[in-house]
Structure 1
Amino acid sequence: MSEQYQSASQQGDGKGAGERFSSSGFILAAIGSAVGLGNMWKFPYITGLYGGAAFFLLFIICLLVVGLPVLLAELAVGRGGRGNASTSLIRLSGNRLWGGFGFITILGAFVILSFYAVVAGWTIHYAVLSFTGKLFEHNDYAALFTGFIGGWMPLLWQFIVMFLTGFIIIRGVSAGIERFNKVLIPGLVILLLVLAVRALTLEGAGEGVSFFLRPDFSELTAESALVALGHAFFSLSLGMGAMMTYGAYVDKRQSLGLATLAIGAGDLIYAFLAGLIIFPTTFVFGLEASQGPGLVFVALPAAFSAMPLGSLFGGLFFVLLAFAALTSTVSLLEVPVAFVREAFGWSRKFSVVLLTVLCFLLGVPSALSLGNKVPALTFGGKPFFDWMDFVCSNIILPLGGLVVTLFVGYAWKGASEEAGLSPWWFRLWLFMLRYIAPILVLLVVLYSAGIITL
């Protein structure tokens, strides 16, 4: 065992018992970080746009070939370094330059949370509207949505999301994050199953199921492959420091290989059930699944209004979205909290309160930039919200992913001991991280940034 690896392990063993996940708690928390709003509206959007079932199969392949190896790398770095996303890289390499690269992922998590909380607030607002029946008093759902995001109310719901997130994080790893996910993840599964059954029993649902599960490979293109790869990468919360941070709280007895498979399976099952909800519903009611946020907040309310017990199922759907969003906001906030606690020696309570307030303030321009409420927050034809999303999705997160693959592939000598893989699997894993994942992730970056076109 290398001296750096030994030192990192000793430093990690000094953390309190409250800073550890149980085995099941860790897996549920990591699954909660991976599943989110993107799989409920981005996944149907890109699946509908790029080939249906064939694209879904391609997504599964990309998840196995690139997503899981990078996920295992992030978890191994976190547990090996026993620190935040920056400190772990420094401890394992002895080079502060790697820590600077790790800070990119921490910054990304903070910025993502600032605008992600805005959308999470929309889901809670729509859940309340649906359960009370007020959502279905309107005929023009597009006007309702535009009017809502163009007003001041999103700030209130954004504040509620940040308050709930901070309240959970302030209670610590085991009493806060783990306990929260042990309640919400089973609740998420129940809601998914209930809504999937409702969608599958709609008259004419078979056409949507066929589109989702019967592949037509003639629809696939090189662009489809890059989009599938990008979504496989981002659907696992890679490149934003979350999995490295969670990895630091994992017990040494936990098998990271089995945990990686469990997290990947959880993410895949969520995407599968989301497809069984969205596609039958859209096909039955003649909706376009490629509408992005408009599908969730404009088209689907119209579908729920035409269903028996639409208020109930619509409310459950938006509660599902809110649950998925909150499990992700919790992991995102823990990333910068872990950093400032180590860097400045602050208490968890002070760190959480400060970062929650700062993140809320950073999210205010994103909330107000939509609906032309504040024209000054639109630059180059894009609102502030879209710019934040673009910079994080296309620059910060891919860079974070590249940093981890290159670090484990070339710089860290203790990777085999921490990953706990058999020699054959370790060689395959290292080959993927050195030669396959960096090239493919770089292609996604260049494509997303518009540098290469297909």
Structure 2
Amino acid sequence: MAQKEGSGSSSTGSGKIERFSTSGFILAAIGSSVGLGNMWKFPYITGKYGGAAFFLMFIICLIVVGLPILLAEMAIGRSGRGNAAASLFNITGKKHWKWIGTVPVVTSFLIMCYYGVVAGWTLHYTVLSFSGSLSDVNTDFTAAFTNFAGGYAPLFWQAVVMLITGIVIAKGISGGIEKYNKILIPGFLVILLILMFRSLTLPGAGAGVEFFLAPDFSKLSRASILTALGHAFFSLSLGMGCMLTYGSYVRKEQSLGKAALAIGAGDLFYALLAGLIIFPTVFSYGLKPDQGVGLAFMALPAAFAQMPLGAFFGGLFFLLLAIAAITSCFSILEVPVAYAMGQWNWSRKKAAILVCVFSFILGVPAALSVGGVLSFISLDGKSIFDLFDFVTSYILMPVGGFIVTIFTGYAWKRAGEEAGISGFWYDTWMFILRYVAPILIILIFLYSVGIIQPE
């Protein structure tokens, strides 16, 4: 095995091996999965595709497909002890797997370019809310967001996100990612519980709870099933190298099976709390639950403006979004940083700085295309921002997930040993990775790019 090649992702660049503690890994992985996918995307696609029936389908997809691929990614990372590309090579000794493994590295880098923009929006709205600027019920919140996104201010907030993320990544695993996730994730939970209590005590909140938790299976369609499948994949940060890279920092004595269950449970728990915050608030103030991306930045500010102590609770909500976004940024940025450290033997500090700078530069056109000076540029009706999202979420991530399933199911003979499973559970895991997951990933891809259009 060519273990020396590319395995620098588990070191600081000076030869010091980095490892997560047991609890640190779980919190960091939950921080990666509980991002804007749970707090921003999940509520509006749940609203669009029928509420409780969609949520139930999401749970099934998370268990049947998401967890097996999550376990595979972590096992590859821990066995290969390298970055997302090098680990595949380190396990097999075959160079073509190293080149194939660059797909999730590129995916994470491109995601960071536009994800930092959205994370910047959340910071901006956090400041606006706590300052009381979003408390005027006469404000046209749609116009307010459009004016903000169409200006140059998003570049400042994008730079702030990149600076915060870069500083944490430069500090390493235990002193950076683990340390700050141990602070942010418990704080995230406290804010969630406060907001959930406030939402559930609003007049008319019961209708929102019923919409979210009382399934009406007549609303379930083939399109909603494929969307739930895709979101289960997206919400666990699969196919972008995050869990594979984090897996390379996991200690050998840690149970990957238990870790996968804990991460999946954490992801599901936070999604549940997010729904119990947003839907009672939406129904209480007569808003529509299927308003798309505008639900967070246009509709909910209108609700907080009418709510007693709305500036405080609105500020907490956007602080929640900001924490979710930034903890995900840690894992997303770590993937190309680990690759740069291993591939070119850069120090962690140098890799963090350069990757942040290039991510910011490539993210500028994305930021300026959301109603800004570059909004006139479009391809097939998609802005630059939308193209970043489309290419990464609907093409590269499914390809990355497909690579993991094929590698673990067919190319790696000792996967069960590393994952710590045998017998019935190993056979079931292999069946899913070899036959079920690849077919479903292909269906997600074909649906996402519009080749198949179920009713």
TM-score range, shorter chain: over 0.9
The change in CA–CA distance for 1:414 and 1:6 in structure 2 (over 3 A counts) is farther
Aligned partners of 1:215, 1:25: CA distance in 2, in Å? 36
Aligned partners of 1:49, 1:35: CA distance in 2, in Å? 20
| % identical equivalent positions | 60
Aligned partners of 1:178, 1:289: CA distance in 2, in Å? 35
Alignment of 1:348-427 (within 5 A): 348-427=348-427
Is 1:146 aligned to 2:146, yes or no?
Answer: yes
Shift of 1:347: 0.6
Question: Which letter maps to 2:217?
Answer: F
Q: Which residue of 2 aligns with 1:331?
A: 331
Aligned partners of 1:13, 1:37: CA distance in 2, in Å? 27
Q: Cα deviation per residue 1:7-57 (whole Å; 9 max; x = unaligned)?
A: 99x999988665100000000000000011121222111212222111111
Q: Cα deviation per residue 1:66-90 (whole Å; 9 max; x = unaligned)?
A: 0000000000000000000000001
Aligned partners of 2:116, 2:295: CA distance in 1, in Å? 19
Question: Which letter maps to 1:299?
Answer: A
Q: Cα deviation per residue 1:382-409 (whole Å; 9 max; x = unaligned)?
A: 2100011000011100000000000000
Q: Secondary structure at the match of 2:101?
A: helix
Q: Secondary structure at the match of 1:371?
A: coil
Is 1:221 aligned to 2:221, yes or no?
Answer: yes
Shift of 1:413: 1.1
Q: Which residue of 1 aligns with 2:187?
A: 187
Q: Which residue of 1 aligns with 2:249?
A: 249
Q: Is the 8 A contact 1:18 1:175 kept in 2?
A: no
Shift of 1:377: 3.3
Aligned partners of 1:239, 1:417: CA distance in 2, in Å? 22
Shift of 1:216: 1.1
Q: Secondary structure at the match of 1:378?
A: coil
Q: Is the 8 A contact 1:76 1:256 kept in 2?
A: yes
After TM superposition, the score normalised by the length of structure 2 is 0.96
Q: Cα deviation per residue 1:161-191 (whole Å; 9 max; x = unaligned)?
A: 0000000000001000000100000011011
Aligned partners of 1:32, 1:69: CA distance in 2, in Å? 19
Q: Which residue of 2 aligns with 1:450?
A: 450
Q: Secondary structure at the match of 1:169?
A: helix
Question: Which letter maps to 1:356?
Answer: C
Is 1:209 aligned to 2:209, yes or no?
Answer: yes
The change in CA–CA distance for 1:5 and 1:209 in structure 2 (over 3 A counts) is farther
Q: Cα deviation per residue 1:386-443 (whole Å; 9 max; x = unaligned)?
A: 0110000111000000000000000001101100013221111111100100001110
Aligned partners of 2:276, 2:403: CA distance in 1, in Å? 35
Q: Cα deviation per residue 1:254-282 (whole Å; 9 max; x = unaligned)?
A: 00000000000000001000000011011
Q: Which runs of 5+ in 2 are unaligned?
A: none
Shift of 1:373: 2.0
Q: Cα deviation per residue 1:347-391 (whole Å; 9 max; x = unaligned)?
A: 111111111100000100000011142245333332100011000
Shift of 1:219: 1.3
Q: Which residue of 2 aligns with 1:21?
A: 20
Aligned partners of 1:337, 1:264: CA distance in 2, in Å? 25
Aligned partners of 2:411, 2:304: CA distance in 1, in Å? 53
Deviates more, 1:95-104 or 1:301-310: 95-104
The change in CA–CA distance for 1:7 and 1:297 in structure 2 (over 3 A counts) is closer
Note the aligned Cα RMSD (angstroms).
1.8
Alignment of 1:89-238 (within 5 A): 89-137=88-136, 139-238=139-238
Q: Secondary structure at the match of 1:136?
A: coil
Question: Which letter maps to 1:241?
Answer: G
Shift of 1:140: 0.5
Aligned partners of 1:290, 1:87: CA distance in 2, in Å? 42
Larger relative helix fraction: 1
Aligned partners of 2:10, 2:338: CA distance in 1, in Å? 16
Question: Which letter maps to 2:22?
Answer: S
Q: Is the 8 A contact 2:166 2:352 kept in 1?
A: yes
Question: Which letter maps to 2:91?
Answer: L
Aligned partners of 1:145, 1:375: CA distance in 2, in Å? 15
Q: Which residue of 2 aligns with 1:65?
A: 64
Q: Is the 8 A contact 1:341 1:351 kept in 2?
A: yes
Q: Is the 8 A contact 1:5 1:80 kept in 2?
A: no
Q: Is the 8 A contact 1:50 1:224 kept in 2?
A: yes
Q: Is the 8 A contact 2:37 2:234 kept in 1?
A: no
Shift of 1:292: 2.1
Aligned partners of 2:376, 2:244: CA distance in 1, in Å? 37
Q: Is the 8 A contact 2:8 2:83 kept in 1?
A: no
Q: Is the 8 A contact 2:8 2:338 kept in 1?
A: no
Question: Which letter maps to 1:401?
Answer: G
